[in-house]
Amino acid sequence: MKFILTVSIFLSLISLFLQGCEKRIFLTKDPEIIIMDGRYVFDPAGAEYDRLILSGSEMIKELSSCREEEKQLSLFSVGLHGYYDLLTVSGKDTSLVNNIYLSKISENVLKITVLDVDQGDCFIIFPPDGKPSVIDGGYGSKGWLDWQGGGSAKLVDRLVEEDIFELKYLVETHHHADHYGGLYDIRDDGRFSYDYYLTYLSGSLAAGDTIHFSDTVKGVILHKGLINQDPGTHENDRSIVIRLFYHNFDMLFTGDIQNEAEDHIISSGYLEDSELFEVLKVAHHGSSSSSSQEFLDITLPLYSIITSGEGNPYGHPSEDVVQRLLNLPSSVLRTDNKGTLEIFSDGLTFQISYYTVKPAKIMR
């Protein structure tokens, strides 16, 4: 009887693994589990959880769903392979489930690199079906203080490192050096080509228009330029604001907009109540002049990314802003203490990866 029952269970498990690309992982079972990238139903003894964290000795990978009802999670094992502790997170509670070995395999999915450029913004968009694009570039070689990047062309260095020389969009959200400096490095470097250079002065685009990073990855412009044609609009509030979406994955790029532009976006009707963005690029490096409660309540990000330089003289990010984000609740990740972040999505789920210890600055 025991033999028949064992065979029955074994055949049931085999049938689960044969159902398309879905893989069901029973995390309470031994021995340690070896997994590769793909879509899994993580089943930790029926426990409820909001997201999963894979914590290794050098890298952390956070897995979440783009939709609350989505039961499968995709694992994008790009980066360091090896042993990871797998933890479930439910609200503020974290529980260790098991130890796994993660294979080193790459997925052809959307990748967004949040490049640590100290005090500044820099994002590289890698669609699965098109050329990369860049939104802002940090100070680049225009930086002259250590927290401004030390005059290094970090964006150019990263693109060369990844063998990327052809780009579709260079987007300068607004004309402050901590956003355009690295873009100017690309323009001045003869090795790179790009199809479009967009600023808030680009007359061919207006709020409500769509730009195509690729056939599958699109961006809707929620704001750009003057507010109500007022020439006194602050430079920060002229920032291009882009809602990027890839199937069910939504990320909001806000430049350095302040409360006035946030109110204008809300009143324009481009955002509906409780949008539930997967990722929010927190405006103006977490400044107290941005991220009003009303704006956060309508965007409701699962993750909030703050791009600020360690030891910057502005006091970014504001403690009040960080607390407002945590109260949503939203998971807050900061480049000043995490370094470069990488976001991966298949359009249904997403993963954010970063090193457990911020890589040491390279002194030049």
pTM, full prediction = 0.89
**Residue 218 and residue 212 in contact, taking contact as beta carbons nearer than 8 Å:** yes
Distances (CA, A) of 92 to 141, 285, 330: 41, 25, 11
Per-residue pLDDT tens over the stretch 125-141: 999 999 999 999 999 99
Other beta carbons less than 10 A from residue 81's beta carbon: 15
| Angle subtended at Cα 320 by Cα 61 and Cα 176, rounded to the nearest 5 degrees | 80
Nearest to 97 by CA among 27, 161, 152, 171: 27
Domains of the chain and CATH, by start: 15-102 (2.60.40), 110-345 (3.60.15.10)
Residue 118 CB neighbour total at 10 angstroms: 26
pLDDT in tens, 189-211: 999 999 999 999 998 899 999 99
Pairing of strands 38-42, 279-281: unpaired
Task: Among 11-20, 57-66, 80-89, name the most confident range.
Answer: 57-66
Identify the H or E element spanning 352. strand 349-355
Average pLDDT of span 289-315: 94
Give Dmax (Cα) for the chain.
83
298 sits in which H/E element: helix 293-299
Residue 228, class by beta-carbon neighbours within 10 Å (0-12 exposed, 13-18 middle, 19+ buried)? Answer: exposed
